[in-house]
Amino acid sequence: MTSPPGAREMVARAQLLLQLRRPAEAEREARAVLAREPEHAGAHMIVALALSGQGNAAEALDAADRAVGLGPGAWMGHWVRGVVLSNAGRGHKALSAFKDALACDAEQPVVYERLARGHYAVREYRLAVQAAEAGLRLAPEDGELAKIMSLALVETGDPAGAREHAARAVRLAPESASAHRTHGAVALATGDHRAAAGSFREALRLAPEAANGGALLLRALKRRNPLRGLDVVLARVRHRSRREIALNIAAVLFPPWFVFMILLTWAFWVNWVIQAGITLWLARDPGVRRLLDDAEVTAARVAAGCFGAGAALLALSTALWTPALIPPGIAFLSLVMPVQEAALLDGTRRMGFAMLAGTLGAFVAVLTPLAYAAPRLEWVPVAALLTFYAAMASTWLAMIVARRPDDRAKFVPGN
C-alpha cells in the first residue's frame, strides 16, 4: 500500500521529535498519520516509542504489538517491542524480542547493541560481551556498541579491554555526554579516579541537565581519598540488613564481641572525621560546592566544630593539668557521630538525629564550665561520659532506621 501524500513527511517529523526527546508531540504527529492510514507500521512504532517515553508502558506495548502484527517479518517492529519492554523493566521479555529481531535480520548493529544492553541489565555480562562483539564486527565505528562493550568487560574482569573500548567511544563521539559518562564509569570501576573525575566533569559540561551527572562527579572526587578503603569496608557493615545489625548489637553481651564492637565503632568515628574533612575540602571549589547537598556541607562544618572544640578541651586539660576537662572533651569529639549520621538520613529521621545531636551538644556545653569550675562534682564527668556513649552508639541506631540502598542498581549508558 502506498502512503498518501504528506504521510512520509509527517513520519519524518515524528521521528525528529522523538530524537529531540519530545515524545508527546511525536505521538500526536504519528497519530495524525494513523488517522489517514491506520495500517502504517512505522507510525505505530513511533507511537509505541513515544508512549514508552512518557511512561505509558501498557499502551506502548499495544502499539508495538500492532506494528509487529502488520509486519511480522520486519526486524524493526520486534526491535521497537524490545525497547518498550526494556523501558518497562521487563528485561527477559525484551531479550526475546531482540532475538526475534535478529531472526528477521542478523545484519543490524542496532539490534546487537540493544541485545547487549539487555543482557547487561539482567547481569548476563558474558552474553552482553558476545552480543556487543557481534555488533562491532558489523559496525566497528559504532560508539553505542563500544560503550556497552566497555561496561560489560568491566564485569567480566577485563579492565584493559574495558578502558580501550571506553576511550574508543569518546573518540567516536567527543561531544557525547553519555560517552564521557561511560568512560568515567569504567575509569572509576578500574581504579583511575582522577580520570573518572575528569570524564564526569566533561559529561556534566556537555549535559548539565543530566539527573545523575553531579552525583557521579562527586563520587569520583571522593574516591580520590587515599583512605577510602576504610569507607568501603564500613559501607559493607552499614548496608547489612536491620536484622543482622540488631544481632551484632545484641552480641555485645559476649566480651570478645564487645571489644570488637568498640573498635568498629571507633572506626566509624574516624571515618566520619575523614569524610567531614573531604567534604569541606571539596566545598572550597565553587563548581563542586553547588553539587554538594547543603545538609552534607552543614553537617561537615558542625562536625569540624565539634572536633575542634573537643581537641581544644583535651589540649587545655593537658596544658592546665585539669583532668576534669577530659570527659567533656571526648564528649565533644563523639558528637561528630550523630551530626554526620543526620546528614546521611532523610525526612523525619534526619530531623530526629539533628535534634539528638543538638540536645547532646547543648548538654555538653553546659557540663564543660561546670567541670572546670567545680571539678569536685562527681556527677559531671559521669554525665559527660554518658553523653559520649550515647553519641558513639548513635551510629548503630542510624543504621537500623536508615533506608536500605538498591544494591542492584547498575550504570547503563543512555542513548
Query: Which CATH number characterizes residue 114's domain?
Result: 1.25.40.10
Instruction: Tell me phi and psi for residue 175, to 5 degrees.
Output: -100, 15
Q: What average pLDDT does the segment 92-101 reach?
A: 95
Residues 247 and 210 in one domain: no
Mean predicted confidence (pLDDT) in 349-360: 92
Are 135 and 255 contained in the same domain?
no
Reported as a single tens digit per residue, the pLDDT across 271-312 is 999 999 999 999 998 888 888 889 999 999 999 999 999 999
Shared domain for 289 and 331, answered yes or no, is yes
d(CA 117, CA 132) in angstroms, rounded, equals 9
Is residue 187 domain-shared with residue 283, that is, in the same domain? no
Locate 319 and state its grid cell. Answer: 596544658
Cβ atoms of 413 and 151 within 8 Å: the answer is yes
Q: Note down the domain range covering 144.
A: 7-225
The answer to whether residues 239 and 219 belong to one domain is no
Cell of 243: 536484622
Are 192 and 257 part of one and the same domain?
no
CB atoms within 10 A of CB 339: 29
183 and 286, same domain (yes or no): no
407 in a domain, yes or no?
A: no
Structural domain tally of the chain? 2
Say yes or no to pLDDT of 413 above 80: no
| 3-class SS of residue 192 | coil
Tell me: do 74 and 200 sit in the same domain: yes
Q: Of the residues 225, 242, 262, which one is the last residue of a structural domain?
A: 225
DSSP characters for 244-307? HHHHHHHGGGSHHHHHHHHHHHHHHHHHHHHHHHHHHHHTTSHHHHTTS-HHHHHHHHHHHHHH
State yes or no: pLDDT of 4 exceeds 60. no
**Predicted pLDDT at 414:** 53
Q: Is the pLDDT of residue 332 over 50?
A: yes
Instruction: Answer with the one of 190, 209, 225 that is the final residue of a domain.
Output: 225
Residue 407 has pLDDT above 50, yes or no: no
pLDDT at 141: 93
* DSSP 8-state code for residue 414: -
Same domain, 177 and 250: no
- Number of Cβ atoms within 10 Å of the Cβ of 310: 21
Q: Is residue 408 part of a domain?
A: no
Q: Does residue 310 sit in the same domain as residue 393?
A: yes
Is there a single domain that holds both residue 80 and residue 208?
yes
Percent of the chain with pLDDT over 90: 71
The last residue of one of the domains, among 225, 255, 271, is: 225
Question: What average pLDDT does this structure show over 309-334?
Answer: 93
| Whether 261 and 325 share a structural domain | yes
pLDDT at site 360: 94
Over residues 201-213, mean pLDDT:
86
Mean pLDDT, residues 374-401 taken together: 92
Assigned domain for 411 exists: no
Q: Which three cell numbers stand for residue 148?
A: 556497552
* Residue 412 placed within a domain: no
Judged against a pLDDT cut of 60, whether residue 1 lies above it is answered with no
Question: Mean pLDDT throughout 378-399?
Answer: 94
CA 108 – CA 15 distance, rounded (Å)? 19
Question: Quick check: is 57 in a domain?
Answer: yes
